[in-house]
Amino acid sequence: MDLLCGLLTGVGVWLVVTGARRVDRPEAHMVVWRRVVTRRAGYRLAAAVTVGVVVAVVTRWPVAALLAGAFTAAAPTLLGGGRAEAESLATLEAIASWTEALRGSLRSYAGIEQAIKDTAELAKPPVHTHTVGLAAALSAGVRLPVALRGFQTDVDHHAADLVATALRKATTSHTGNLAAQLGWLAHAVRERVAAMQRVETARTEAKTSARLVILIVVGVGVGLYLFNRPLLAVYGTTAGQVVLLLIGGIWILAAVWLQRLTRIPEPPRVLTGTPNTDPP
């Protein structure tokens, strides 16, 4: 058991050091938001390994260290206040606003590329960097279909996919009602925002209950170890570690299930039946 704990500690320290180096390594081809996501993942990994090492040293239970590290890595997602949903809503709002600006520019008889350049600076922060990058790519001579594919990859959101697809199809099929299609898309995106807000409000109580259950389970486990350690002495054996692993696995599955129940599902990334008229 001591050898296993020592091995886990050594591996943990190695992961922290190498993970920190990889996180801090600059990558010129990555956009800013991807570097931020990578750093967050690196910080989670470092925190999880650190907690796992501490638990391994204190309890000498490898399974407890593994479970503690897994919980630390997943805690921001399991206990977070809906950051992902808020970011998705902000992105939807920004895409809807930019789409409406594109529609207005196209109605003033500007071409697609010129409309993108004219409205790029008007986009809100969640997509502002990407629209400015799209306009810069067009100014540098990149073909519109290629630039739009890069825009889709950078934003990585279903609403951006729909707008980019509409613009790309208009360049290949010479669609004459692009402004109307963009108006319908903006209307559909805003309807999606309203629906997500209603669902988020209805699920707030469920999310609070799920977080409370998770915190109670973790708190009870820590409290028993600190104040009633003889009750948990059986888990110090090999058979006890196996049982603890099974119990921890069940709770992890339950936590993941609760998280999925309270998550707002993303709609499909395929648009069918786009009308040829403006939205009501």
pLDDT band at 21 (very low <50, low <70, confident <90, very high): very low
How far is it, in rounded angstroms, from Cα 263 to Cα 193? 15
> CA torsion sign, 36 to 42 to 46 to 52?
positive
Q: How far apart, in Å, do the first and last CA atoms of the chain sit?
A: 69
Task: Tell me what pLDDT residue 243 has.
Answer: 92
Cβ within 8 Å of residue 138, ≥6 positions away = 113, 116, 117, 144, 147
Q: Whole-number mean pLDDT of the chain?
A: 76
Cβ-based burial of 173 (10 A; exposed 0-12, middle 13-18, buried ≥19): exposed
pLDDT at 107: 73
What would the two tokens of residue 144 be?
């519109």
Distances (CA, A) of 90 to 9, 40, 66, 125, 259: 41, 20, 36, 9, 21
* pLDDT for residue 275: 42
DSSP 142-170: --HHHHHHHHHHHH--HHHHHHHHHHHHH
pLDDT digits (tens, 9 = 90+) for 24-61: 333 333 344 455 456 667 788 888 899 989 999 998 89
Q: How far apart are CA 91 and CA 98, in angstroms?
A: 11
Give per-residue pLDDT as tens, 229-255. Answer: 888 888 889 999 999 999 988 888 887
Whole-number pLDDT of residue 81: 58
Contact 151, 134 (CB under 8 A): yes
Where is pLDDT greater, at 258 or 130?
130
Q: Compute the distance between CA of residue 119 and CA of residue 127 in angstroms, rounded to an integer.
A: 12
Helices (H), the chain: 2-24, 32-59, 62-79, 83-107, 112-119, 125-139, 144-155, 158-173, 178-227, 238-261
- Give the pTM: 0.56
The three-point CA angle 159-162-164 to 5° equals 110
Tell how far CA 172 is from the center of its chain: 33
Instruction: Quote the CA–CA distance of 46 and 40 in Å, as a whole number.
Output: 10
Pick from 97, 116, 95: nearest CA to 106: 116
